[in-house]
Structure 1
Amino acid sequence: MTKSFVFFFFSIVVVGWSQEKKSAVTTDDYFKILRETITGEKAYETTAFVSQYWRVVGNEGFNKSIFKVASELEAAGYVQETNATILDRFTYRIEKRSLQHPTWEPVSAEVSLVGSASPLLKQATNRNMVYLNSASTPSNGVVGEVVYIKDLGALKNSPVRGKIIYTDANRVSEIYKEGVLNNGALGMFSYNNPGYLKPEINTTSIQFRSLPYHPNNKWAIALSYEAKETLKSAMDKGTVRAKVNVATKLYPSEELTLVADVRGSETPGERLVFSAHVQEPGANDNASGVGAQLEMAITTAKLIASDAIDAYRSISFLWGDEIISTNRYIVEDEERAKSIKWGISLDMVGENTSITGGTFLIEKMPDPSAIWTRGEDQHSEWGGRVLRLEDMKPHYLNDFMIHNFKNQGEFANWVVKTNPYEGGSDHMPFLKADIPGLLLWHFTDQFYHTDNDTMDKVSQETLRNVSTAALASALTLVNGDSYTATAIIDLMKDAATNRLAAEFLLSERAVKKGASSEEEQQIIKAWTDWYIKTIDSTRDMANPGNTAIVEKAILSARSIIEMQSDSFISELKRK
């Protein structure tokens, strides 16, 4: 923790257990240890290994990534769960489940325009060109006339049997289903790269696309901006015929999920869960999350084994299929779900932002900034729907994590920002189950989901920063007690008063410009309620025999927040 975040009660010996603790006690302690231990090297090496594969659940690249991480865990002292004894604190298991549909992987592909001397696209340089779940063409390929289909309605007046559809429509899956599956087109070309990818600059980028699994699937090809422009230019001059050769594999397989556990020494039935998904073929998305989480797991075991730190509660590290594996981890075991106190998702955490254009972000649990997004709060280009008051998830995890990551940012000259809740990654299952959970990520990324999301866009230093701040925060929480709670309450009080002051100034300006005073008061009340409940949530860390100091700190902080809120609301009523 920072110097303002020190457990100021620690020097007072209240109960005997406080004298027995051998772990570090503040986040500053953990930062000091981890900054000397975490280098980002293992995270970077693992990211490079995983990123070489086009990964989807069950395919060879996905499975090799899981087994690679498992072998690294074992080398670091984690014992396979089936072989573990009661003395083994570090264990892992690989869960196996049958897949409903075959898995898929691309082998090779090439598209050329008949009469052209060079290919339009080839997988060797554009590995995202083939839609996931595409079938192979005959070994000698297919040749057909290319016809432009503007939208679904155009199919009614455009015979496509034996031809290749080209579309730049948004409802691509419907055009594929109607034109290819139902009306006999040979296959489909599509183009739809959003503006934040800067397609006119990154002209060879292709975002990966997918078809729903269907036993009669044919093939679909996603075009780069460069390929799209070449095709359109040719079509403007007359009839265009294209040759397409696609080789893919579809085969039965099983789904693998890797879970590593660090058993807590005092309260093993309570845990913090980190989650990083393996599927998606990019380096930053999400080989970087896989790598960062592995270095964190290895570092945790190393430091505990050497008695440098301890973990009183348990820590679990989960690698699997995005959202699905995390959701299953929660819903399949009711008792295990009750034990989860915090969930943290690592997704796109290794970016060299000078190249990608992205910023490191902490996506907050739902707070009023996801209802009233204004001031310094901004959604990413991903965007998010406007939430309601009943969607709020008040908890100290938001500001606690932001505080610690800002600490690392100041130390390492690293930019840390936040965004209101948007969803779309492994933090969603935690929140759905009313478990505090947030997302560590980067956005905007001009190479997001494209085949230019490669290792040259990954920064070892960023991986080091994320891993250090995430693990320092986790260790503080899993070793937390009543003193930790009082320190967090102090932090929440400061965060609340700063937020209310900022919101009041925004509301004051809004009223002067004609906004309703009553509506602006509602914003102040919403933030007040959120922070009051946030401070109340610190009770979950208090020791049963030492709750009085927590209750006293809660009452003091609430009084300050409510007094400030009442003052601001009174001012707005006079406007």
Structure 2
Amino acid sequence: MMKSSFCCSCGPLPATIRPEDGITMTNAPRGDVSNAKCSYAKEFLAQSGQMMRVDNILKTELSGVSAKAFVEKLTAFHRIQASVMYHDAVEYVKDEITRIGLDDISVERFVADGKRRYWTHGTTLGWSVNDAELRLVEPEERIIARFRDIPQSLHTYSNRTPEGGVTARLIDVGAGTSNKDYKGKQVKDKIVLATGRAKLVHEHAVVKRGAAGVITDSLTYEFSKFRENVDIPDAHAYQGIWPNATNKNKIRFGFSISKRQGNELRKYLRSGKIVRMHAEVDAKLMPGKYEILTASIGGSEKPDEEILLVSHLCHPKPGANDNASGCGLLMEIARTLMALIMSGKMKRPVRTIRFMWLPETVGSVALLSTHPEIRERLLAGINLDMVGENQELCVSTLCLDCTPDSIPSYLNDLVFSAMRRANDAYDDRVKLGMISNFRYARTPYTGGSDHSEFGESTTGVPCVSVTQWPDKFYHTSMDTMDKVSEDSLRRVGFVAALSVLTVANAGERTAMELAADTCTEGVKRVTDRVRNASGELFAKIEEPKQTKKAGEELARLIRHHRMCIRRITFREASAIRSVSRLCDSESLRDFVDEQVNDIEAHGERESLRLEHIIDTISADKNVMIPKALKETKAEAEARVIIPKRLFKGTIDPDYMSDELGDDFQWHRDVEKDDHDFSRKTYDMVNLIDGKRSLQEIMDIVSAEFGPTSHEHALRFMSDLKKIGLVSYRTKTKLLIHP
């Protein structure tokens, strides 16, 4: 049971008082604490009134129209990392935030020459492009694609063609991403037509086999029954070559055409006709720079403590939702906060709010590897990536991508609470309640953007991402301004601004409130996990054949759920403790200890409830559950291996691919069977501390993402060891390191 704070005069106070609760004491009007009976109550009531006031002034000042105008300006730039066009976009944002009045505006540049590495991450080259055109010349003549009409029709980092262009026969190579696709086919000096990812097709067809160029006609990501090539047959997918200094001289060109166009070309080829294409590309590869633009609103009392708002500026023109929407909204949040401060409606935050526009992933890695001291300043971060979607057109839901279990944090519940408050603020109220068509959800860590780099254990800053997902038009030429919603922008702007202001101004009382909220929500999550476990276990015994093998599977499922309750309880307790970084006081420490005791006691009660469920299932005479499970060879090995990291930062998949060669195909194959494998391996790496065994790491990851194959985990660690990223030591007895 949740404990309440207690005041001798007023009696028990709710652990959390929020404006939406409508709580007052002794009938004091909201914001008027003159009748409150004690200073503790007065402070809570004053804080409640202030929070309500912040909600109102943010809603009044923050404009979806203004945000969308910023977004539209950004869509005019072809914002490819390390390119001349990206630089132009940086200059535009810099000019705007200078007018807004942000502090400490600077652009830092990092070498991108195809040679330099930041941790394991390689760099690409710089790039500029003026124009490009692809024409069909046989069996008929017509334009297929022009860069000036559809910028995404040209593979990024395509190289210049010789004067007069290139005319060559077309050959279909299927996916074009493996050696088997080229068996019996001569592609030298031909243009290949492929359905695979452009980077891999270029490596196989152009770099290895001397093809003249590449044409692709498929979406980079398809989702069954939602986003398939047949759903948007006229879309050109965002595809890139991503060359480095080693293969620079072999790089040629590539075009991304629509599936409808690709099918027409294949129809010619199947009929036995000779198909010739003509390509002209005016582009250039050269050494470049990754540019990171930062600015701030300086803190009034604790300027050396910072809260981060980050958004990636890169991606092809127009890239309206991905990610002009995040960058434009970041500009609008900055404008809103500065307008409120300069008008006197809001004080400067206690801590510094840091704004950052950068090239996705590569920018974060370059920054964090060069400036490791950043981790000492940053308390928390919010990543804005694809936030402006018109949900009905894009079939999207606003998702909070939480911190991984390797870095539990109060931040998850804070931001999700802000999402609820945004709906309260913007939904229409009618006689029968509220009308809301705006979807939002909380999801376990997914990754895929810059919050992954800040949250990785080398840096260890709790960072969430606010993202509209899925998006039917993601990474295609159809990601245009008509898909951007002013309503989405203002709601997400409200969420981000309210969340960063809460952390930026947090003192002892706010830290207590955050701890209490995290405990309350944690209790629900532990209970939900037991309910889910119960459903899975009862469903298992309903299976028609209860064989010995089925009994062993049930026993393993029971073991898994027991472990999950322990792990999740520990995670929730750690999330409560994470508020301690906001304030160092004896009162807060005592309060946090109370909340932790509550969640741990609840975890024990729920574990007992799970045992009662297991006893009920075991009493069924038709269910054959073995008393003990024989340890497999893989389980025994995982139990004694203690991995140690020999690198920093996240692992660049291209680095692993280059180092492992053909053996890396295993990792791609596993992803097809276990869609969470990349998330699991991300947190496996985070959890390597030289103390935990691989089994202990697997327990945490399995509680987070679902059961994990011992064979897969061992193979992954073995490959890391093979390429020098980890070392092993073994232990003779099991020690528990939570």
How does the TM-score come out when normalised to structure 1? 0.86
Give 1:293's aligned residue: 330
| Aligned Cα root-mean-square deviation (Å) | 2.8
Q: Does 1:137 align with 2:164?
A: no
The alpha-carbon deviation at position 333 of structure 1 amounts to 3.0
Task: Please state whether the residue corresponding to 1:199 is helix, strand or coil.
Answer: coil
Q: Contact 1:265–1:312 (CA<8 Å) still a contact in 2?
A: yes
- Offset, 1:278: 0.8
Give the C-alpha shift of residue 422 in structure 1.
1.6
CA displacement at 1:273 relative to structure 2: 0.7
Determine helix, strand or coil for the equivalent of 1:91.
Answer: strand
Aligned to 1:3: 20
Shift of 1:546: 4.5
Name the amino acid aligned to 2:401.
Answer: E
The answer as to whether partners of 1:271 and 1:316 remain within 8 angstroms in 2 is yes
Measure the CA separation in 2 of the matches of 1:410 and 1:491: 18
Which consecutive unaligned segments of at least 5 residues does structure 2 have?
1-17, 26-30, 114-124, 427-435, 541-553, 617-738
Q: Partner residue of 2:522?
A: 496
User: Where does the alignment leave 5 or more consecutive residues of structure 1 unmatched?
Assistant: 79-89, 368-391
Output the CA distance in 2 between the equivalents of 1:415 and 1:186.
Answer: 47
Q: CA deviation at 1:545?
A: 6.4
Q: Which residue of 2 aligns with 1:246?
A: 281
Q: Is the 8 A contact 1:24 1:309 kept in 2?
A: no
After the TM superposition, which residues 480-495 of structure 1 pair with which residues of structure 2 at under 5 Å, given as runs?
480-495=506-521
Matches within 5 A, 1:60-79: 60-78=84-102
Q: Is 1:108 matched up with 2:145?
A: no
Q: Does 1:319 align with 2:357?
A: yes
Q: SS in structure 1 opposite 2:336?
A: helix
Provide the C-alpha distance between the structure 2 equivalents of 1:38 and 1:568, rounded to a whole number of angstroms: 47
Q: Is the 8 A contact 1:23 1:308 kept in 2?
A: no
Distance 1:285 1:551, change over 3 A: closer
- CA distance, structure 1, for counterparts of residue 24 and residue 83 of structure 2: 49
For residue 120 of structure 1, give the secondary structure of its aligned residue in structure 2. strand
Q: Distance in 1 between matches of 2:362 and 2:210?
A: 34
1:92 corresponds, among 101, 105, 108, to 105
Q: 1:527 to 1:555 in 2, by over 3 A?
A: closer
Q: Tell me how many residue pairs correspond in the alignment.
A: 537
Identity %: 21
> Which secondary structure state, in structure 2, belongs to the residue aligned with residue 161 of structure 1?
coil
Q: Relative to structure 1, is the Cα distance of residues 354 and 322 closer, same or farther in structure 2, using a 3 angstrom cutoff?
A: same
404, 421, 425: which is aligned to 2:418? 404
Q: CA deviation at 1:306?
A: 2.7
Q: For residue 439 of structure 1, report the CA deviation from its aligned partner.
A: 0.7
Question: Residues 132-281 of structure 1: matches in 2 within 5 Å?
Answer: 132-150=156-174, 151=176, 152-169=179-196, 172-193=198-219, 194-196=221-223, 197-213=227-243, 214-238=248-272, 239-281=274-316
Does structure 1 residue 50 correspond to structure 2 residue 63? no
Q: Contact between 1:136 and 1:219, CA under 8 Å: does it hold in 2?
A: yes
**Maintained 8 Å contact 1:318/1:326:** no
Q: Deviations over 1:374-410 (max 9, x none)?
A: xxxxxxxxxxxxxxxxxx3211111111111122124
* 1:341-380 equivalent positions in 2, closer than 5 A: 341-367=379-405
Query: 591, 594, 599: which one pairs with 1:558?
Result: 599
- Residues 503-514 of structure 1: matches in 2 within 5 Å? 503-514=529-540
Query: Does residue 528 in structure 1 map to residue 552 in structure 2?
Result: no
Partner of 2:496, secondary structure, is helix
Offset from partner CA, 1:306-339 (integer Å, 9 cap, x none): 3322300111000111123233443433433211
Residue 50 (structure 1) shift: 1.0
* 8 Å CA contact retained: 1:43, 1:292: yes
Question: Which stretch shows the higher mean deviation, 478-487 or 554-563?
Answer: 554-563
Query: Counterparts of 1:481 and 1:103 in 2: how far apart (Å)?
Result: 47
Secondary structure of the structure 2 residue equivalent to 1:524: helix
Answer whether contact 1:50 1:61 (CA < 8 A) is retained: no
1:43 is paired with a residue whose SS is helix
Is the 1:366–1:420 Cα contact (8 Å) retained in structure 2?
yes
**1:446-484 Cα deviation digits (max 9, x unpaired):** 111111111111111111110111100110111111111
More moved, 22-31 vs 342-351: 22-31
Q: Which sits farther off after the overlay, 422-431 or 408-417?
A: 408-417
Distance 1:394 1:402 in 2: 15
Cα distance change, pair 174–449 in 1 and its aligned pair in 2 (3 A): closer
Contact 1:270 1:341 in 2 (8 A): yes
2-structure distance, mates of 1:498, 1:322: 35
Give the SS at the match of 1:30. helix
Q: Which whole-Å deviations, capped at 9, do the CAs of 1:38-62 have from their partners, x for residues lacking one? A: 0123321111111122111232331
Distance, in Å, in 2 between the alignment partners of 1:558 and 1:181 is: 57
Q: Which amino acid is the alignment partner of residue 378 of structure 2?
A: I
Q: Which letter does structure 1 place at the counterpart of 2:569?
A: T
Q: What is the Cα deviation at residue 555 of structure 1?
A: 5.1
Which structure 2 residues correspond to residues 381-396 of structure 1 after superposition, within 5 A? 392-396=406-410
Secondary structure (helix, strand or coil) at the match of 2:321 reads: coil
Given candidates 459, 482, 490, the residue that maps to 2:485 is: 459
- Alpha carbons of structure 1 residues 535 and 97: separation in structure 2 relative to 1, 3 Å: closer
1:314/1:561 CA distance change after superposition, 3 Å: farther
The one-letter code of the counterpart of 2:109 is K
Once the 2 structures are TM-superposed, how far is the Cα of residue 280 of structure 1 from its aligned partner?
0.6
d(CA) in 2 for partners of 1:162, 1:249: 21
**SS class of match (2:277):** strand
Tell me, yes or no, if the aligned pair for 1:37 and 1:299 is still in contact at 8 Å.
yes
Distance 1:316 1:444 in 2: 28
Q: Distance in 2 between matches of 1:545 and 1:309?
A: 30
Question: Is contact 1:131–1:222 with CA below 8 Å preserved after alignment?
Answer: yes
Change (3 A) 1:343 1:508: same
Match of 1:31 in 2: 55
Larger deviation: 254-263 or 117-126? 117-126
- Cα distance, 1:569–1:529 mapped onto 2, change above 3 Å: farther
Q: Please list the CA deviations of residues 270-305 of structure 1 after superposition, one character each: whole Å capped at 9, or x if unmatched.
A: 110111111112111111111011111122222222
Are the counterparts in 2 of residues 401 and 473 from structure 1 also a CA contact under 8 Å?
yes
1:370 corresponding residue in structure 2: none
Matched, 1:441 2:455: no
The DSSP-based 3-state class of the residue aligned with 1:255 is strand
Whole-Å Cα distance in 2 between the matches of residues 235 and 552 of structure 1?
71
Q: Structure 2 vs 1, CA of residues 168 and 328 (structure 1 numbering), >3 Å: closer, same or farther?
A: closer
Shift of 1:133: 1.3
Cα gap change, 1:144/1:23 in structure 2, threshold over 3 Å: closer, same or farther? same
Structure 1 Cα separation of the partners of residues 407 and 296 of structure 2: 27
Aligned to 1:377: none
For residues 512-550 of structure 1, the C-alpha deviation after alignment (integer angstroms, 9 at most, x for no partner) is: 123443322222222211111111222222353643663
Instruction: Indicate if the aligned counterparts of 1:7 and 1:483 stay in contact, CA closer than 8 A.
Output: no
Greater Cα offset, 494-503 or 292-301: 494-503
